[in-house]
């Protein structure tokens, strides 16, 4: 008897084709070339220009400001090393990171390009009325002595104090929890799998139950499985599943915005239109 | 009954295709209009700042005085860009108006830069610095608005030109849009030495 077999070259060619298609798909999913890398930390310092202690203090300060100021600003700091165009870098990074809450745009980004002695404060749309270009320029200008002396942490602390003073006097108020739960309605992988898997099982089970009930109504013999299905309180299970999904999404909303890990930042969907100022030292 | 089934499926398919295409065209078109409006506002914001700067600079200007006065006279009586209703003009006309305004602003900024470079006293003037910082801010906003307009036009054109949307786009009056290309002459950045303050 002839058993059909797949020849080895054909198998290899097919494997190569699958790999090539997969690689193309992966490339197409990586986004446009040159797109800015989103920030995932409150203070991003890849070249370690700040000491660990200074970084911790800044993270604490940023967290405190977000919690205490009426506008609940999402302020991020990045020391990226050399950048070609600090205006473009700041705006694209702000946009890619989604700093601030969606609709409120209460985000701020401080960029310190130490190799080129330049700094920029990028202001979210929501703060353009509170922090004008001139005010941000003056804040940067006031930090010049510290920047020139290489005291970057002191300079950043000074900038944050000045920003906080201005925002404390501003009338912009944001309801942090409400806005966060509105924009971050996501659930984590495990909860999603649990909820969706449960819903699929529920749909299958209830379908078989309807069939069993129909057989019962027609007076046909029922199997043990059919009797088991009919005895299950499907309404209680549905209610339980809905509660699991709802609780999971609530937990996620409460933990969004980088609270799980102190220095982490999760995009809020905010944006900037190029407001702010730059200065060099 | 079976004879009607295939035409019915075809009709439903065409209606579904037209319906979903229309929604995508509308969304992409709306996005382009929003970004165009944003660019109009930012260029107008820059235009509004320049007369204040010219007034500050005039006292320090010697050779450029007449040039600055001529520009100021040329812009008087014009309709501000942000008051032009995009529905009343074609895309090309609106883009030309924005580009003309941007080019003239750039020429004025260039003349202001010349005066600033020749006059250290002007660079030390607080009012001048304040206006130049604002001008630099508007220049950056214009750059961002222009990039986002280009991205919006690209997304719109892809929606309109790609299959199967291209089958419905022409019928619904959605055609390919031209890109907003600002010439280098329209992008003179303000120059000021802030270290003097």
A233 shares a domain with A119:
no
* Nearest-CB residue to B137 (from A88, A133, A279): A133
In angstroms, what separates the C-alpha of A49 from chain B's closest C-alpha?
24
ipTM over 0.95: no
A126 and A193 together in one domain: no
Based on the number of CB atoms within 10 Å of its own CB, is A203 exposed (0-12), middle (13-18) or buried (19 or more)?
exposed
Assess whether A166 and A229 both reside in one domain.
no
Write out pLDDT tens, residues A151-177.
999 999 999 999 999 999 887 777 665
Domain shared by A123 and A236, yes or no: no
Does B133 contact A275 at a Cβ distance shorter than 8 Å?
no
Torsional sign, CA B61, B63, B69, B71: negative
SS3 call for A269? strand
Which distant-in-sequence residues (6+ apart) come within 8 Å of B113 by Cβ? B188, B190, B191
Q: Tell me, yes or no, if A137 comes closer than 8 A to chain B by beta carbon.
A: yes
Cβ–Cβ pairs < 8 A, chains A and B: 41
Interface contact A33, partner B, CB < 8 A: no
Q: Which residues on B lie below 8 Å from A132 (Cβ)?
A: 134
pLDDT in tens, B98-152: 888 888 888 888 888 888 888 888 888 888 888 888 888 998 999 999 999 999 9
Q: Using CB atoms, pick whichever of B42, B134, B143 lies closest to residue A133.
A: B134
Same domain, A83 and A194: no
Query: A10-58 pLDDT, tens per residue?
Result: 555 555 555 554 444 444 344 444 478 999 999 999 999 999 999 999 9
Is residue A31, in this structure, part of any structural domain at all? Answer: no
Q: Which residue has the higher pLDDT, B176 or A38?
A: A38
B7-23 as b/e: b if 16+ CB within 10 A: eeeeeeeeeeeeeebbe
**pLDDT beyond 90 at A63:** yes
Least confident of A94-98, A117-121, B124-128: B124-128
Q: What pLDDT score does A23 carry?
A: 47
Measure Cα distances from A238 to A234, A251, A277 in Å: 6, 20, 54
pLDDT score at B175 = 85
Res. A260 pLDDT band, cuts 50 70 90: very low
| Band of pLDDT at residue A191, cut at 50, 70 and 90 | low
Q: How high is the pLDDT of residue A26?
A: 42
B197/A141 touch (CB, cutoff 8 Å), yes or no:
yes
Of B38, B133, B197, the CB nearest to A133: B133
The pLDDT value given to residue A188? 53
Q: Tell me how many domains chain A contains.
A: 2
Q: Are residues A51 and A97 in the same domain?
A: yes
Structural domain includes residue A213: yes
Provide the pLDDT for residue A101: 93
pLDDT given at position A210 = 83
Percent of chain B with pLDDT over 70: 91
DSSP string, A169-226: HS-----HHHHHHHH-----HHHHHHHHHHHHHHHHHHHHHHHHHHHHHTT----HHH
User: Look-up: residue for tokens 């209009």?
Assistant: B33
Q: Are residues A79 and A160 in the same domain?
A: yes
B-interface mutation test, from A133, A271, A276, A281, most B Cβ less than 10 A away: A133
Instruction: Identify the three-state secondary structure at position A80.
Output: coil
Nearest by CB to residue B140, choosing from A132, A274, A279, is: A274
Highest mean pLDDT among A198-212, B100-114, B167-181, B182-196: B100-114
Distances (CA, A) of A152 to A79, A123, A138, A145, A249: 10, 20, 17, 10, 40
Q: Which domain holds residue A270?
A: 43-182+259-280
pLDDT of A74 > 90? The answer is yes
Q: What is the pLDDT of residue B180?
A: 83
Residue A152 lies in a domain: yes
Q: How sure is the predictor about A245, in pLDDT bands with cuts at 50, 70 and 90?
A: low
| Mean pLDDT of the A253-257 span | 44
Domain ranges of chain B: 36-191
Amino acid B5: pLDDT: 78
Nearest residue in chain A measured CA to CA from B151: A32
A138 occurs within a structural domain: yes
Q: Determine the residue of chain A that is closest to B39 in CA distance.
A: A273
Query: What pLDDT was estimated at residue A205?
Result: 79
Chain B interface residues (partner A, CB cutoff 8 A): 38, 42, 130, 133-134, 136-137, 140-145, 194-195, 197
Let me know whether A78 and A151 are in one domain: yes
**Does A137 sit within 8 Å of B133, measured CB to CB?**
yes
What is the pLDDT averaged over residues B64-83? 76
Most confident region among A5-19, A76-90, B162-176 by mean pLDDT? A76-90
Please check whether residue A280 is in contact with residue A117, taking contact to mean a CB–CB distance below 8 angstroms. yes
Instruction: Tell me the chain A residues in contact with residue B132 when contact means C-beta distances shorter than 8 Å.
Output: none
Residues A206 and A154 in one domain: no
Same domain membership, residue A264 and residue A144? yes
Cis bond leading into B164, ω under 30°?
yes
* A150 and A240 part of one domain: no
Same domain, A164 and A198: no
pLDDT at A190: 57
Tokens encoding A237: 């299970």
Domain-located, residue A55:
yes
A68 in B contact zone (CB under 8 Å): no
A275 touches chain B (CB under 8 A): yes
Contacts of B196 in chain A (CB under 8 A): none
Q: How far is B132 from chain A (nearest CA, A)?
A: 9
In degrees to the nearest 10, what's the CA dihedral of B46, B189, B152, A183? Answer: -80
Cα(B33)–Cα(B26) distance, integer angstroms: 10
- Helical residues (DSSP H) of B59-125, grouped into ranges: 65-75, 91-118, 120-123
Domain membership of residue A203 (yes or no) is: yes
* CATH at A75: 3.10.310.50
- On whether any CB of chain B is under 8 Å from the CB of A158, the answer is no
């Amino acid at each position: 008897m002839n058993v059909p077999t797949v020849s080895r070259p054909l198998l290899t060619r097919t494997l190569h084709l699958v790999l090539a298609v997969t690689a193309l798909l992966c490339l197409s999913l990586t986004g446009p070339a040159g797109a800015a890398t989103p920030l995932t930390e409150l203070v991003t310092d890849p070249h370690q220009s700040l000491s660990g202690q200074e970084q911790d203090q800044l993270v604490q300060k940023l967290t405190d400001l977000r919690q205490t100021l009426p506008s609940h600003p999402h302020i991020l700091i990045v020391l990226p090393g050399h950048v070609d165009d600090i205006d473009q870098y700041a705006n694209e990074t702000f946009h890619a990171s989604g700093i601030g809450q969606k609709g409120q745009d209460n985000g701020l980004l401080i960029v310190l390009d130490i190799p080129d002695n330049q700094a920029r404060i990028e202001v979210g749309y929501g703060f353009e009325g509170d922090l004008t270009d001139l005010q941000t320029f003056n804040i940067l200008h006031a930090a010049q002595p510290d920047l020139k002396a290489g005291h970057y942490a002191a300079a950043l602390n000074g900038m944050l104090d000045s920003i906080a003073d201005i925002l404390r006097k501003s009338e912009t108020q944001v309801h942090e929890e409400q806005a966060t739960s509105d924009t971050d309605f996501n659930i984590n992988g495990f909860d999603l799998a649990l909820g969706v898997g449960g819903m699929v099982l529920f749909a299958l089970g209830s379908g078989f139950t309807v069939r069993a009930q129909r057989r019962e109504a027609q007076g046909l013999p029922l199997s043990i499985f059919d009797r088991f299905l009919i005895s299950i309180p499907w309404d209680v299970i549905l209610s339980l599943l809905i509660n699991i999904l709802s609780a999971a999404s609530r937990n996620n909303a409460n933990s969004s915005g980088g609270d799980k890990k102190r220095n982490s930042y999760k995009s809020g969907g905010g944006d900037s239109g190029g407001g702010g100022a730059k200065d060099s030292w | 009954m079976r004879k009607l089934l295939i035409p019915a499926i075809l009709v439903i398919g065409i209606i579904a295709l037209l319906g979903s295409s229309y929604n995508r065209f509308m969304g992409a078109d709306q996005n382009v209009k929003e970004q165009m409006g944003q660019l109009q506002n930012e260029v107008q914001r820059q235009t509004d700042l320049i007369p204040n700067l010219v007034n500050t600079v005039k006292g320090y200007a010697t050779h450029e005085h007449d040039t600055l006065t001529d520009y100021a006279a040329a812009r008087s009586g014009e309709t501000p860009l942000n008051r032009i209703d995009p529905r009343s003009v074609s895309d090309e006309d609106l883009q030309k108006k924005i580009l003309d305004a941007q080019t003239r602003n750039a020429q004025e900024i260039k003349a202001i830069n010349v005066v600033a470079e020749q006059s250290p006293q002007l660079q030390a003037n607080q009012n001048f610095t304040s206006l130049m910082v604002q001008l630099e801010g508007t220049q950056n906003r214009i750059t961002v608005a222009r990039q986002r307009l280009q991205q919006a036009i690209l997304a719109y054109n892809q929606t309109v030109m790609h299959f199967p949307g291209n089958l419905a786009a022409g019928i619904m009056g959605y055609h390919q849009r031209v890109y907003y290309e600002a010439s280098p002459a329209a992008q003179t950045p303000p120059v000021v030495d802030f270290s003097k303050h």
